[in-house]
């Protein structure tokens, strides 16, 4: 049975979906399990979604090699039917990088990710500004707060047409923007040419989020940043809240 | 050999011309005929051609490689396996190797470099290890050469395109530009993996009747005679060789990696090996050779990508992303089930035999029947003539007195700092995913990269080093310096060396001058390995890096791995706090031969490279390590290309935060240009709190290491009294745009 949110459960359950070509599933798994002590399971893309989960993560990587448009193949993986149903019934879904691309291809998120404006793969730490905090993914951070989280992608340039963009702004669906050292969403602070410096968006019902930056690679002081934990723990908090309010 | 085979397949007759075009000499051919007791068939000739190629047989280098020290208490597998293996405690082992992909990368930079990465990854996971980090060591021609930026862009994109897709971080490396590589670039790829000590797999075939299983991609016509190509010099037609370059499929590699590691948790495998150079032929023959048995393969069962392939093509194809394994009889279905999950082929194509023959058949006809020994151990071993070049004394002549110091040292310094060899390599490494697997504690741009070992307090440090200019000027010293610098880079982050792997890139071994360089480099590396107690656990030789008779500089590259006992004690190279004192370990001498300064300002590659006293080198490294382990240092940075001025500038500007200034006053009574740009070895710049100074001095005196307090961190200016005074932001701009600015 597929349930959106495990009402009344003490510890939340995370499912991390493994597509052929996923690369970051273990990083997400380790961040959640080792750094946060969460219950996590890796889920194979050919299987059905069995059991109860509070949040599903579609990790980064190169599903099907990205030989076609990024995410265009993975959206047809058997498990994606259940993911769509899970999302529609209110479950939390987080797509990171390739996972974001898959969610866009699956129609769960607006817009698309296209080739970086510099035409090269870009791997670097970036500064991100938190734009909205009334989502389960950003509830424990402050509006305007800066996060240091790395990006690593060749096709991370967010694109949406002007109508969609206007809609995103009106519904406050842009959660993170790339900014410069001064916290401004400037050209200099934009690593990949994303329209309006967009680094992460949510759907209208605010339970599905796509991020190009990788919070799982920013969960330890040793790795240079713990800001990624803020996103994961925000989700965990939201689930705990859900558990309390019937 | 059946006669009827010829009816269906018309194979060319084996003529002296055909033998020559397969790169075999008349003597080699005589040996084949003598041992077989008959003429080989066309297909067999192809098999000999690849197995006896320089690339596969090490026929010119083998006698010398024996001199390298390979022993150590930590060494679990030395040279001869797919990769070297060292014990890292806690039941774990580190597996690593470096390999060259020079010739293909020049012909087709993206695919050449990409498949170089693919090949080295397979060498690591074929031993059961999960690859956790890669490095690369690259050499290109002058950026003024019209082809260089195309080659550089292609190689970097290829390395990134493959490594990123497979999910293995590229955490560091090195790149160097010099005219001598204009027509022969070097692409050396290194990968490190981790394996449980009890689950190490080797490339061995054992147990007659055990099935031989082909796994991974289908076989196509790509890469036929790649190994032979890598055993020849380039001439004008090199670009016509493009069809011999393989095409990489990193997605299939990723599936193969995951499927193999899943399979390796079970007890089904007897032995497993990557189908690399010389493909199916070398993997099956080498596995049989190691196990002292034979193999019998039905070529018609090999999964093919294209129709109508001949036995010759199937045996010699170098299609990528393929592995060969020998399984325990009866486990075939279980193995197939795992590969089905990952949508990969796993096909039984033959079996292990007792008769020590390399047999293959096609459509019912036997097409090869060759003693395994003759292919592996029986390959010729050459003691090639060596000769010191007659003009070598002249090359080593450099009269400093006749060289004027630059009128404007500031301009000279800026020129050096912005030169592609010195400038920031961020343009390159930002195209590599260096975060994936979330272990990268010290990312690219440091003296050595460091990755943590999750679930422990330990980490592994890794670096790749080698300076062809030094080796050209004095191959013995240059060989020793490559090893010494790698170990010093490890010391600078606080790691103790576990072992090294090498890629030995040279011109034609048939040229006595090249062979002399080779012998000297090996001797230098050997002496440094012994002095610094670093065993050589794996490696690769790449000869024939020359075009129209002009060889590259002799270029050994050393990939070294070290143990970081406490990951939270790791030190990086840049200054951390204003007020810290700056200390130089070691001494600066007037050594400008082979330096970046002499090359850039005087246009010379002359003189002798900096000398090395291996005892002092070891003492300096120990001093640095102990200081780091006792938590005394805030930063440590090796002084190398560009000398002290460049090292200090890097300390100021290479960190992730805002640059910090420094004021230096050294009181050295030597030439100003030597003070700033001499590349004297065994030097490390460290910074520390003032109160940590006296413990550091004690450590230094215990090891008899000369140390000197040379300045203080702070401010926004870079000052070396009384020679240089600049604003650090300006230095950062010059350093950051030196390479990137040339590539737009």
* Sequential DSSP letters for A175-230: EEEEE-TTS---STT-SS--GGGEEEEE-TTSSEEEESS-GGGSSBGGGTB-HHHH
Q: Is the residue at A5 inside a domain?
A: no
Question: Counting every residue, how long is chain A?
Answer: 246
Contacts of residue A152 in chain B, CB cutoff 8 Å? Answer: 164, 433-436
Nearest to B174 by CA among B434, B431, B448, B435: B448
Q: State residue B226's pLDDT score.
A: 66
- To the nearest 10°, the Cα dihedral for B733, B739, B741, B744? -150
Contact in structure between B607 and B549 (CB atoms under 8 Å): no
Contacts of residue A23 in chain B, CB cutoff 8 Å? Answer: 165-167, 254, 436
Nearest to B467 by CA among B488, B454, B483, B451: B483
ipTM of model: 0.94
Q: Is the residue at A58 inside a domain?
A: yes
Contact in structure between B24 and B48 (CB atoms under 8 Å): yes
Residue A246 has pLDDT above 70, yes or no: no
Model confidence, pTM: 0.95
d(CA B413, CA B392): 30
Q: Where are the alpha helices (DSSP H) in A120-172?
A: 162-170
Q: How confident is the model at residue A6 (pLDDT cuts 50, 70, 90)?
A: very low
User: A62 and B430: CB-CB below 8 Å?
Assistant: no
H/E stretch holding B248 reads none
* DSSP symbol at B82: S
Q: What backbone torsions phi and psi does residue B440 show, to the nearest 5 degrees? A: -80, 100
- Report the chain B residue with the minimal C-alpha distance to residue A215: B438
Contact in structure between B48 and B56 (CB atoms under 8 Å): no
Longest C-alpha distance within chain A, in Å?
49
Q: Which residues contact A193 (CB under 8 A, 6 or more apart)?
A: A116, A117, A118, A157
Question: Counting every residue, how long is chain B?
Answer: 744
3-state SS record for B150-189: HHHHHHHHHHHHHHHHHCCCEEEEEEEECHHHCCCCEEEE
Cα-based angle B648, B650, B654 (whole degrees, multiple of 5): 145
Q: Is the residue at A3 inside a domain?
A: no
Most A CBs within 10 Å: which of B166, B433, B434, B571, as the mutation test of the A interface? B433
The active-site residue out of A25, A202, A216, A239 is A216
**Between the CA of residue B680 and those of B515, B609, B623, B628, what are the distances in Å?**
28, 9, 18, 23
Q: State residue A210's pLDDT score.
A: 98
Q: Which residues contact B573 (CB under 8 A, 6 or more apart)?
A: B446, B447, B492, B635, B636, B637, B638, B650, B651, B654
H/E stretch holding B456 reads none
User: B254 and A23: CB-CB below 8 Å?
Assistant: yes
How many Cβ atoms from other residues are within 10 Å of residue B628's Cβ?
22
d(CA B718, CA B729): 9
User: A65 and B160: CB-CB below 8 Å?
Assistant: no
Q: State residue B239's pLDDT score.
A: 55
A97 counts as catalytic: yes
Q: Is the residue at A173 inside a domain?
A: yes
Q: Which residues of B sit within 8 Å Cβ distance of A?
A: 157, 160-161, 164-167, 249-252, 254-255, 341-343, 429-441, 452, 454-455, 567-568, 656
Query: For chain B, what is the total number of helices (H) and then of strands (E)?
Result: 27, 28
Q: Which residues contact B399 (CB under 8 A, 6 or more apart)?
A: none
3-state SS record for B605-653: CCCCCCCCCHHHHHHHHHHHHHHHHCCCCCEEEECCCCHHHHHHHHHHH
Q: Which residues of A sit within 8 Å Cβ distance of B?
A: 20-24, 26-27, 30-31, 34, 46, 60-62, 64-67, 120-125, 150, 152, 154, 214, 216-217, 219-220, 222-224
Contact in structure between B505 and B499 (CB atoms under 8 Å): no
User: A120 and B431: CB-CB below 8 Å?
Assistant: yes
H/E stretch holding B428 reads helix B426-429
Contact in structure between B535 and B78 (CB atoms under 8 Å): yes
User: B438 and A46: CB-CB below 8 Å?
Assistant: no
d(CA B125, CA B150): 32
d(CA B244, CA B490): 38
- Report the chain B residue with the minimal C-alpha distance to residue A59: B436
Task: Return the SS3 of A55.
Answer: strand
Nearest to B436 by CA among A89, A121, A25: A25
Strand-pair category, B717-720 with B662-664:
parallel
Q: Please report, for the domain that includes residue A81, its CATH number.
A: 3.40.50.880
User: B568 and A222: CB-CB below 8 Å?
Assistant: yes
Check whether the bond before B722 is cis (ω within 30° of 0).
yes
A105 counts as catalytic: no
Q: State residue B7's pLDDT score.
A: 45
Contact in structure between A79 and A47 (CB atoms under 8 Å): yes
Q: State residue B223's pLDDT score.
A: 75
Q: Is the residue at A145 inside a domain?
A: yes
Q: Where are the alpha helices (DSSP H) in A49-147?
A: 79-88, 98-105
d(CA B676, CA B720): 9
d(CA A158, CA A120): 15
The active-site residue out of A55, A70, A97, A157 is A97
Which among A65, A124, A150 has CB closest to B250? A65
Q: State residue B3's pLDDT score.
A: 44
User: A30 and B454: CB-CB below 8 Å?
Assistant: yes
Residues of chain B scoring pLDDT < 50: 1-7
d(CA B696, CA B342): 55
Average per-residue pLDDT for chain A: 93
Contact in structure between B226 and B246 (CB atoms under 8 Å): yes
* DSSP symbol at B11: P
Note down the domain range covering A117: 13-243
Residue A8 has pLDDT above 50, yes or no: no
User: B436 and A67: CB-CB below 8 Å?
Assistant: no
Strand partners, A176: A130, A200
Residue A37 has pLDDT above 90, yes or no: yes
Most A CBs within 10 Å: which of B163, B262, B436, B449, as the mutation test of the A interface? B436
d(CA B335, CA B329): 11
User: A27 and B429: CB-CB below 8 Å?
Assistant: no
Helix B148-166 and helix B109-125: axis angle, to 10°? Answer: 30
Q: Is the residue at A26 inside a domain?
A: yes
d(CA A85, CA A107): 12
User: B161 and A121: CB-CB below 8 Å?
Assistant: yes
Contact in structure between B43 and B5 (CB atoms under 8 Å): no
Q: Is the residue at A116 inside a domain?
A: yes
Nearest to B368 by CA among B39, B4, B41: B41
- Residue B224, sorted as left (phi over 0), alpha (psi -120 to 50) or beta, turns out to be beta
Task: State pLDDT tens for residues B605-615.
Answer: 999 999 999 99
Question: How many structural domains are present in chain A?
Answer: 1
Strand partners, B369: B359
Q: In what order do the strands lie in the sheet with B130-140?
A: B75-77, B84-89, B92-100, B186-196, B130-140, B170-177
Q: Chain A to chain B, count of Cβ pairs less than 8 Å apart?
A: 90
Q: Would you name the residues of B annotated as active-site residues?
A: 55, 101
Q: Is the residue at A176 inside a domain?
A: yes
Q: In what order do the strands lie in the sheet with B536-542?
A: B440-442, B449-452, B459-465, B555-564, B496-505, B536-542
d(CA B326, CA B641): 48
| b/e map B531-546, b = 16+ CB within 10 Å | bbebbbbbbbbbbbbb
């Amino acid at each position: 049975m597929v349930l959106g949110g495990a009402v009344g459960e003490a510890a939340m359950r995370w499912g991390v979906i493994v597509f052929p070509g996923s690369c970051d599933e273990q990083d997400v798994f380790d961040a959640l399990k080792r750094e946060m002590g969460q219950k996590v399971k890796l889920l194979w893309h050919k299987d059905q979604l069995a059991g109860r989960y509070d949040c599903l993560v579609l990790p980064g990587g190169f599903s099907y090699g990205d030989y076609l448009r990024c995410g265009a193949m993975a959206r047809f993986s058997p498990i994606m039917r259940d993911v769509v149903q899970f999302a529609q019934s209110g479950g939390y879904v987080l797509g990171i990088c390739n996972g974001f691309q898959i969610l866009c291809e699956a129609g769960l998120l607006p817009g698309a990710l296209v080739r970086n404006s510099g035409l090269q793969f870009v791997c670097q730490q970036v500064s991100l500004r938190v734009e909205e905090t009334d989502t389960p993914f950003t509830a424990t951070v402050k509006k305007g707060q800066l996060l240091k989280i790395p990006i690593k992608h060749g096709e991370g340039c967010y694109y949406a047409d002007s109508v969609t963009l206007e809609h995103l702004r009106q519904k406050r669906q842009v959660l993170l923007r790339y900014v410069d050292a001064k916290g401004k969403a400037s050209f200099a602070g934009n690593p990949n040419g994303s329209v309006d410096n967009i680094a992460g968006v949510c759907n209208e019902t605010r339970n599905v989020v796509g991020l190009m930056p990788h919070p799982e690679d920013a969960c330890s002081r040793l790795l240079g940043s713990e800001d990624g934990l803020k996103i994961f723990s925000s989700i965990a908090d939201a689930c705990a809240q859900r558990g309390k309010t019937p | 050999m059946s006669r009827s085979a010829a009816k269906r397949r018309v194979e060319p007759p084996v003529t002296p011309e055909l033998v020559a075009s397969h790169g075999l000499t008349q003597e080699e051919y005589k040996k084949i005929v003598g041992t077989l007791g008959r003429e080989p068939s066309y297909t067999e000739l192809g098999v000999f051609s690849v197995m006896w190629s320089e690339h596969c047989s090490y026929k010119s280098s083998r006698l010398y490689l024996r001199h390298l020290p390979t022993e150590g208490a930590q060494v679990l597998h030395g040279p001869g396996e797919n990769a070297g293996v060292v014990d890292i405690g806690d039941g774990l082992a580190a597996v690593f190797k470096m390999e060259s992909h020079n010739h293909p990368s020049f012909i087709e930079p993206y695919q050449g470099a990409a498949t170089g990465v693919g090949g080295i990854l397979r060498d690591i996971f074929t031993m059961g290890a999960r690859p956790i980090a890669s490095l690369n060591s690259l050499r290109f021609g002058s950026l003024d050469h019209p082809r260089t930026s195309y080659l550089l862009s292609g190689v970097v994109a290829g390395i990134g395109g493959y490594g990123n897709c497979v999910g293995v971080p590229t955490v560091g490396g090195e790149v160097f530009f010099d005219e001598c590589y204009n027509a022969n670039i070097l692409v050396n790829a290194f990968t490190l993996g981790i394996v449980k000590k009890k689950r190490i797999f080797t490339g061995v075939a054992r147990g007659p009747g055990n099935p031989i299983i082909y796994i991974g991609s289908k076989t196509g016509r790509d890469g036929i005679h790649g190994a032979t190509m890598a055993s020849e010099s380039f001439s004008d037609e090199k670009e016509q060789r493009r069809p011999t370059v393989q095409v990489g499929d990193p997605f299939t590699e990723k599936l193969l990696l995951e499927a193999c590691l899943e399979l390796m948790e079970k007890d089904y495998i007897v032995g497993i090996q990557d189908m690399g150079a010389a493909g199916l032929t070398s993997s099956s023959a080498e596995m049989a050779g190691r196990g002292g048995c034979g193999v019998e393969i039905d070529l018609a069962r090999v999964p093919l990508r294209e129709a109508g392939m001949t036995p010759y093509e199937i045996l010699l194809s170098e299609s990528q992303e393929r592995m060969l394994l020998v399984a325990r009889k009866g486990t075939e279905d279980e193995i197939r089930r795992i590969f089905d999950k990952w949508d990969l082929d796993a096909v039984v194509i033959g079996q292990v035999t007792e008769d020590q023959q390399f047999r293959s058949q096609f459509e019912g006809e036997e097409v090869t029947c060759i003693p395994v020994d003759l292919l592996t151990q029986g390959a010729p071993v050459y003691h090639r003539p060596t000769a010191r070049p007659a003009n070598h004394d002249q090359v080593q002549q450099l009269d400093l007195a006749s060289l004027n110091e630059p009128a404007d040292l500031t301009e000279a310094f800026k020129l050096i700092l912005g030169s592609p060899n010195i400038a920031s390599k961020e343009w390159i490494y930002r195209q590599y995913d260096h975060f994936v697997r979330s272990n990268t504690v010290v990312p690219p741009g440091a003296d050595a990269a460091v990755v943590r070992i999750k679930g422990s307090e330990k980490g592994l440090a890794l670096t790749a080093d080698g300076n062809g200019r030094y080796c050209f000027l004095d191959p013995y010293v240059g060989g020793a310096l490559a090893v010494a610098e790698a170990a010093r880079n490890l010391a600078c982050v606080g790691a103790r060396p576990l072992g090294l792997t090498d890629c030995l890139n040279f011109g034609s071994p048939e040229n006595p001058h090249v062979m002399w360089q080779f012998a000297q480099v090996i001797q230098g590396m050997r002496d440094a390995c012994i002095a610094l107690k670093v065993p050589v656990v794996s490696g690769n030789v790449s000869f024939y890096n020359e075009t129209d008779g002009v060889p590259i500089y002799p270029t050994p590259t050393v990939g070294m791995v070290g143990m970081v006992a406490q990951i939270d004690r790791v030190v990086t190279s840049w200054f951390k706090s204003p007020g810290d004192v700056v200390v130089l370990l070691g001494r600066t001498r007037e050594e400008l031969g082979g330096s970046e300064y002499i090359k850039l300002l005087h246009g010379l590659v002359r003189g002798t490279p900096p000398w090395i006293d291996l005892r002092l080198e070891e003492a300096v490294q120990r001093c640095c390590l102990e200081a780091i382990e006792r938590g005394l240092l805030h930063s440590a940075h090796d002084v190398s290309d560009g000398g002290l001025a460049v090292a200090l500038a890097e300390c100021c500007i290479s960190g992730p935060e805002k640059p910090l200034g420094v004021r230096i006053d050294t009181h050295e009574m030597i030439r100003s240009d030597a003070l700033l740009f001499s590349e004297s070895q065994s030097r490390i710049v460290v910074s520390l709190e003032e109160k940590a100074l006296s413990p550091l001095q004690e450590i230094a005196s215990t090891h008899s290491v000369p140390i000197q307090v040379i300045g203080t961190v702070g401010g926004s200016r870079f000052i070396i009294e009384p020679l240089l005074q600049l604003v650090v932001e300006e230095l950062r701009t010059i350093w950051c745009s030196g390479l990137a600015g040339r590539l737009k």
